[in-house]
């Protein structure tokens, strides 16, 4: 199994110190998430290379016809900006098994930061289906306990 390098674990642990989470939990999550983080970094570099291949004003119909390169880079006016280095990233950890723990969310966000992949959107697993009412409001409040983590990374979900 691919393991997170110890120097990366140390940076993740240091960046999460204000949250006072268990270092053992952070290290375990670092190793568990590392293969996905490596894949995410590889995709991020591919997206960056694809954007740099197309210069502003150049015809890009062929590039834009292949997902995932279509409609990912927008200006403030929602126009596609070809050759731009700005784009939105989402950390989708709601696809992982089980509910998202505090340690998993914090470690994933810290790993993105350490790997120079800041995210704009976060999708943790709260245990409910989109567009369906959740039967127990108090239980939902208990599950949505990520505010201090989100605040530390200046994110929203």
| Segment 60-72, tens digit of pLDDT | 444 444 444 444 4
Place of tokens 């997206």: 47
Long-range contacts formed by 146-152: CB under 8 A, 24+ apart: 146/100, 146/102, 146/105, 148/19, 149/19, 149/102, 149/105, 149/106, 149/109, 150/122, 152/16, 152/18, 152/19, 152/106, 152/109
Is the pLDDT at 157 greater than 70? The verdict is: no
Tokens matching residue 86: 């700005």
pLDDT digits (tens, 9 = 90+) for 120-149: 888 888 887 778 888 888 888 777 777 667
Phi, psi of 23 (to 5 degrees): -65, -35
Contact in structure between 100 and 94 (CB atoms under 8 Å): yes
pLDDT digits (tens, 9 = 90+) for 64-123: 444 444 444 433 333 444 445 567 788 888 888 888 888 999 999 999 999 998 888 888
Helices (H), the chain: 6-15, 23-53, 61-64, 102-114, 137-143, 147-152
Q: How confident is the model at residue 2 (pLDDT cuts 50, 70, 90)?
A: confident
Q: What is the rounded average pLDDT of the residues 39-64?
A: 67
Between CA 120 and CA 130 the distance in angstroms is 20
Between CA 72 and CA 69 the distance in angstroms is 6
- What pLDDT shows up at residue 63? 46
Tokens matching residue 37: 């983080």
């Amino acid at each position: 199994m691919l393991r997170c390098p110890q120097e990366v674990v140390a940076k993740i642990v240091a960046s999460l110190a204000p949250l006072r989470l268990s270092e053992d939990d952070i290290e375990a999550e670092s190793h568990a998430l590392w293969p996905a983080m490596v894949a995410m970094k590889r995709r991020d570099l591919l997206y960056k290379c694809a954007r740099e291949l197309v210069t502003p004003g150049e015809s890009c119909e062929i590039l834009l016809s292949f997902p995932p390169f279509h409609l990912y880079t927008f200006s403030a006016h929602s126009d596609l900006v070809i050759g731009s280095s700005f784009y939105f990233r989402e950390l989708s950890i709601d696809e992982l098994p089980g509910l998202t723990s505090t340690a998993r969310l914090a470690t994933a966000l810290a790993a993105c930061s350490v790997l120079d992949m800041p995210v704009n959107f976060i999708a943790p697993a709260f245990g409910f289906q989109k567009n369906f009412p959740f039967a127990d409001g108090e239980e939902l409040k208990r599950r949505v306990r990520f505010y201090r983590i989100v605040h530390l990374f200046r994110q929203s979900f």
